[in-house]
Chains A and B, each alone.
Chain A
Amino acid sequence: MAEGARPVVEVTPTVGGLDFESWVCPAPLREIPSIVMGHGGGGAMSGELVEHLFLPAYGSAAARELGDSAVLPFGGGRLAFSTDSYVVKPMFFPGGSIGDLAVNGTVNDLAMSGAKPLFLSTAFILQEGTELGELGRVAEAIGAAARAAGVQLVTGDTKVVERASGDGVYVNTSGIGVVPDGVDIGPRRARPGDAVIVSGDIGVHGVAVMSCREGLEFGTTVESDTAPLHGLVAAMIATGARLRALRDPTRGGVAASLNEIARASSVGIDLVERELPIPQTVRDACSLLGLDPLQVANEGKLLAIVPAESADEVLAAVRAHPMGRSARRIGTCVAEHSGMVVARTALGGTRVVGLPIGEQLPRIC
């Protein structure tokens, strides 16, 4: 490799007067008087909605942070509690359906705090005119996924909205799990020197869904990776390593999850692009559409931040589990460029891996 790659400069997100927080302003949600699709994209706009609208409105009734799941003290132990809504279109896609996502998504949000998921609720919002056969297939998928994950469906609700007010089937699931003693996992716990591990191929779910989206149908062998991950997390915990942070990189992909960890922990994260496990089919689809695989959703993968001395042992445990056969160490937490994720490119340059803003938009050409 020719020399010439410049050294990385240490910065904080607002050094030099540059607003690299991508706009934090005292006037909430300026410029946009109503909800746009980007507010649900899992990127910067979603975060702003929470920070500038929900949290001020909730005031003292809200916990300090509204994460994917909350760990709550209860009866001498700790419960994990999480809720998530599912509005995926189309409802059925290669490798799964909205029913699989509704169970596995909430199970995984609980698992990322180290919890063993136990109970789920299911709440449906149905559009008038939805075929019962379709709803039945979703319900069967929910039942099968819950049995596979070993969780019980214990309560629920059903509402119907007029034909023009919805779009098929929306599902909300909330879940409760128990956090084992001694487990202390959270996005603020990453430290410089820690290893960054991903449990397998990235971008698969997003590409599977896009491949059958109206107007975009393209032939692919990619199937969604939707799967429950609490067994994999239990195997990691069983190594005795002190896991720092876990995230399942769903909306916004690996980029969003690692940016959130970097900011919450005030560390930088260095990625090695060549180590990223991106299947050729995902590369090709993203190349065609002008999307970044790091920003594409996953539904059966996790990111783990672990102390360097435990990295090999944890990686071996992940690879020994059926859900982690192609796990890789993809990077390191560093003291430099706090709050930012930087990738070393295959050619030897560097680039910042940013938080997606809103919806990923396919490019024109």
Chain B
Amino acid sequence: MKYLDEFSDPELAGKLLDQIHAATTRPWAMMEVCGGQTHSIIRHGIDQLLPDGIELIHGPGCPVCVTPLEIIDRALAIAARPGVIFCSFGDMLRVPGSSQDLFAVKSAGGDVRVVYSPLDALNLARQNPDREVVFFGIGFETTAPANAMTVHQAKRLGVPNFSLLVSHVLVPPAIAAIMESATCRVQAFLAAGHVCSVMGTAEYPSLAAKYQVPIVVTGFEPLDILEGIRRTVLQLEAGRHEVENAYPRAVRDEGNIPAMAMLRDVFEVTDRTWRGIGTIPRSGWRLSGKYREFDAEERFEVTGIHTAESALCRSGEVLQGLIKPHECAAFGKECTPRNPLGATMVSSEGACAAYYTYRRLELVDAK
């Protein structure tokens, strides 16, 4: 991975920044969709170096942040059951449900385990045939192929004690929902490079045309982000609204064809609730009928759990780019990474956590 250093080169970054400054003649508001990009922008101080007129609106692309509260509560209910091994990626353990998190369930005796791949959870199921092993399958199109492959393998190998708690969400319907919002200020999108590495770019030209917005597929290293911003500014200044791929080392227009075939087999499109935003039609995946037997929600009969968000938390407006994290009255007071009211303060990719962690110096002025 040594080549990654080249994508953080300060000299090259300086040249890109000079070009962005030179090209910018008026204010523009663009949204970076992906939480990984938000984290990188704040972590490297990229937003501090841009022209004053360029506003980066932080989008809803953090998989931890948008997983709805009721899914978290269902996860907690399943994880607390005796005989269950509940497997999750690490950063879901601290996401607050309505009363606790997975760390608390683990502390109370639940068998909650951090894994680094859903296939590890499948192996656990095969090693523990007398236990029910559940994997918490959340995220965007980026994490979905591995989850799909795991369920496919569970069926192929006949592993009846494995199931998936699914809460997958899709980027293009979210872009459409943001643009349809009456309060939308977004004039361009930096599309999430890793999502496009799976799905390609086919879904974006119609969005760019319908909403008259440039969409630039962007990576995650500092130079990737600056190049995405540079191309976006050039389009905005020229009045163009095209789909561009500024991340060609990872993204092909046609996407990852075998992965997409697997996704079509294992999942089907469904309406999904996004934490803090609400229900977006046809914006997620659930297991298709062929694989429904591996659906943890049905297996453990937790579909009846419905819960409400904290009235103080304005993460929904943050996720839609309507307010900056520090414009929420609870930011840094009732709501900190140590005691988060909403998921945007939990995940390191959440906009609130990124602001709290890296930007405390400037935010004092803003309050």
Contact = CB atoms under 8 A, between A and B. Distances in A.
B89 interface: yes
Interface string A10-37: 0100011111101100000001101111
Chain A interface size band reads 35 or more
Interface in B97-124: 103-104, 106-108, 114-117, 120
Interface string B285-326: 000000000000000000000000000000000000000000
Interface string A161-174: 00000000000000
Contact of A34 (B1, B8, B46, B107): B107
Contact of A8 (B17, B138, B361): B361
A20 B139 CA distance: 30
B133 interface: no
B333 A9 contact: no
A357 B101 CA distance: 15
Contacts of A44: 338
B45 A348 contact: yes
B136 to A, nearest CB: 10
B155 interface: no
Contacts of B152: none
A287 B116 contact: no
Contact of B45 (A11, A15, A345): A345
B337 interface: yes
Interface hub of B2, B91, B361 (most chain A Cβ within 10 A): B361
B186 interface: no
A349 B332 contact: no
Contacts of A154: none
A202 B140 CA distance: 33
B24 to A, nearest CB: 11
Contacts of B360: 11, 18, 20, 340, 352
A362 B4 contact: no
A1 B10 contact: yes
Do most interface residues of chain B lie in helix, strand or loop, or is the interface mixed? helix
A154 to B, nearest CB: 37
Interface string B68-93: 00000000000000000000011111
Contacts of A357: 94, 337-338
A39 to B, nearest CB: 9
Interface in B15-69: 17-18, 20-21, 36, 42-51, 63-64
A4 B361 contact: no
B322 to A, nearest CB: 21
Given A20-B360, A280-B2, A36 B106 contact: yes
B357 interface: yes
A239 to B, nearest CB: 34
B45 A351 contact: yes
Contact of B361 (A17, A350, A364): A350
Contact of A348 (B49, B51, B64, B361): B49
A180 interface: no
A206 to B, nearest CB: 14
B8 A364 contact: no
A280 B120 CA distance: 27
Contact of A364 (B13, B46, B92, B338): B92
Interface residues of B, number: 68
A21 to B, nearest CB: 9
A353 B229 CA distance: 26
Interface hub of A1, A19, A284, A351 (most chain B Cβ within 10 A): A351
A5 B18 CA distance: 13
A365 B142 contact: yes
Interface in B149-203: 194
A75 interface: no
A364 B168 CA distance: 13
Given A5-B45, A16-B367, A349-B45, A361 B338 contact: no
B13 A347 contact: yes
B336 A22 contact: yes
A244 interface: no
A63 interface: no
Contact of B10 (A11, A32, A38, A346): A346
B332 A364 contact: no
16 contacts: A1-B14, A5-B45, A16-B363, A19-B333, A20-B360, A22-B337, A36-B104, A37-B106, A284-B1, A287-B4, A346-B10, A348-B10, A352-B358, A361-B93, A364-B90, A365-B143
Given A22-B338, A31-B339, A283-B4, 11 more contacts: A18-B333, A36-B104, A37-B107, A274-B10, A280-B5, A345-B45, A346-B10, A347-B222, A349-B49, A358-B103, A362-B90
Cβ-closest 10 pairs across A and B = A349-B45, A2-B17, A361-B90, A18-B332, A351-B358, A362-B90, A16-B367, A349-B48, A1-B14, A36-B103
